[in-house]
Amino acid sequence: MTKLRQDLRNIAIIAHVDHGKTTLVDQLLKQSGIFRSNEHVEERAMDSNDLERERGITILAKNTAVQYKDTRINILDTPGHADFGGEVERIMKMVDGVLLVVDAYEGCMPQTRFVLKKALEQNLTPIVVVNKIDRDAARPEGVIDEVLNLFIELDANEDQLEFPVVYASAINGTASVNPEKQDETMESLYESIVENIPAPIDNSEDPLQFQIALLDYNDYVGRIGIGRVFRGTMEVGQQVSLMKLDGKVKNFRVTKIFGFFGLKRQEIQKAHAGDLIAVSGMEDINVGETVCPVEHQEALPILRIDEPTLQMTFLVNNSPFAGREGKYVTSRKIEERLRAQLETDVSLRVENTDSPDAWIVSGRGELHLSILIENMRREGFELQVSKPEVIVRDVDGVRSEPVERVQIDIPEEYVGSVIESMGERKGEMLDMINNGNGQVRLAFMIPARGLIGYTTEFLTLTRGYGIINHSFDSYQPMQTGRVGGRREGVLVSMDKGQASQYAILGVEDRGTIFLEPGTDVYEGMIVGQHTRDNDLTVNVTKVKAANNIRSANKEQTTTLKKPRIMTLEESLEYLNDDELCEITPESIRLRKKILDKSERERSQKKKKTAEAN
């Protein structure tokens, strides 16, 4: 008979972004009595990074553990965004069950499907948590039907289809098995975890097998491998072998082992089968590698890591304003920072180019790369980046591109224009559901390059009322013809200086302006969007000539239209092939690759001639 560790449960919390995973973990931590009564605990305590707090999203998987009666529950909070799906997949290997959190109003969303598919593929035991049950518009019965249909669609086995359901309000810290009435605590959720999630097998007597699923880095101890002890025991001071991905074997001594408790890592001397731990002492350690005894070398199956689907060129800033605002501006510093990111981010690739001042950086999506850029910017880096491009692959001899599954929720009156705009970007409609409350849900398959730059257009089309979500589906044969991209030209500054109100007034009827009066500009910098499809060079620094003649309309006040100030993501999406985005700690500027107007025109002529031939 198999021996089990009844004192332990390992679970992952999975959900679509913003369905309340992290808030739920907060409550499980607070109610387990892990914090002292006078200890201040921040909201969304698991989101430790500034960007995670600001955006309200989880970017990195985090582990914690709570004690419920005699059982220790290890909890992994996973990212909901498909861009960080690589983390989700590896976490599934470390746990025995999942809490699938679904919003009581929104129901199943694209990333619900994405994360659940990964869990079912690993044969994990699910518990469904219908969260936000306190919302006025909550529809628990309808949501459970949707979840059941999704399980069936994803080929769940009979045991998985018999999933237990807990209704919760994470924000209020309550849960119950009855949708009509909430208990005062989350007791029913703890009970459900202990009863339904399988206990890990206790094979501590067998030879050690520990696999790395996540990486961390610390200046004091170097790389830290986080993973699960699948078999045997591990002790501080033990001599072990690291089975590398390339088949090589390295021997090392375990210097430190950390267990997780609450939000803290605690040093422990020994870990047993089923434990989730962090280990230091190995410099050259990577995700998917196995640690085992020197005399019993047996590697676990390698973990699959999602390949990047999008790439950008990162360049040293060479604009006329280079070095004015940043602390780190040299190619050496930028390369060091990108290499440091590779220490912990396994879905990222950095390749050198012919130029020592440029690197091709590939990631899982726009969000993945824009978060890296935003972090670098906050650390004091200056750099330039090119337009994001999808990575084309050869699949069975056919040129193939990544295709995304898109789900759109919009008010009825915008259905026609959204379907038309998706059609222009080669989107194929899969489904259309009218919820009967004036809201329509549309599902599409669309080439990933068709989505670059679409968010801004979508929000304009739906006046901000639309919700769009997408996740990577598969690689499919490349579509011919133009897919997506910006159709309008831009207004380009012809001069260096300060933008003046007088000059902006003179050009604002030509398009949409991107900057406020008083902003420093340089020749070749993009200052607005043209109403037509060609670029137009304009002077935004001109000042009104001073003379002593009174104008008849002197007393009339002129007001400028509000400029369109773009965020980092919007700026990256906006770029065309001949443009760059200059990023510094204080500014985000769009510019032409070739700043000089006559050189730019010569280059375009050459390009047209080459295309004609």
The DSSP bridge pattern shows strands 358-363 and 349-352 to be: antiparallel
Nearest C-alpha neighbor of 324 from the set 520, 44, 55: 520
- Tell me: is residue 557 an annotated ligand-binding position: no
The whole-angstrom separation of Cα 429 and Cα 440 is 13
Strand, coil or helix: what is 204?
coil
The whole-angstrom separation of Cα 587 and Cα 581 is 10
Q: What is the dihedral of CA 442, 447, 448, 451, to 10 degrees?
A: -50
Residue 118 backbone dihedrals phi, psi, to 5 degrees: -65, -40
- Tell me: is residue 133 an annotated ligand-binding position: yes
Strand, coil or helix: what is 241?
strand
The residue with tokens 């898109």 is 406
Nearest C-alpha neighbor of 82 from the set 407, 332, 414, 399: 407
- Tell me: is residue 19 an annotated ligand-binding position: yes
Nearest C-alpha neighbor of 303 from the set 290, 291, 313, 322: 290
Q: End-to-end CA distance of the chain, in Å?
A: 76
- Tell me: is residue 91 an annotated ligand-binding position: no
DSSP-derived secondary structure letter, 164: -
- Tell me: is residue 519 an annotated ligand-binding position: no
- Tell me: is residue 131 an annotated ligand-binding position: yes
DSSP β-bridge partners for residue 129: 101, 166
Cα separation values, 288 from 44, 67, 76, 301, 305, Å: 29, 29, 18, 8, 9
E strands within 244-366? 249-253, 256-261, 264-268, 270-272, 276-280, 290-293, 310-315, 349-352, 358-363
DSSP β-bridge partners for residue 277: 227, 259
- Tell me: is residue 18 an annotated ligand-binding position: yes
- Tell me: is residue 172 an annotated ligand-binding position: no
- Binding-site residue positions for GTP: 18-23, 131-134
- Binding-site residue positions: 18-23, 131-134
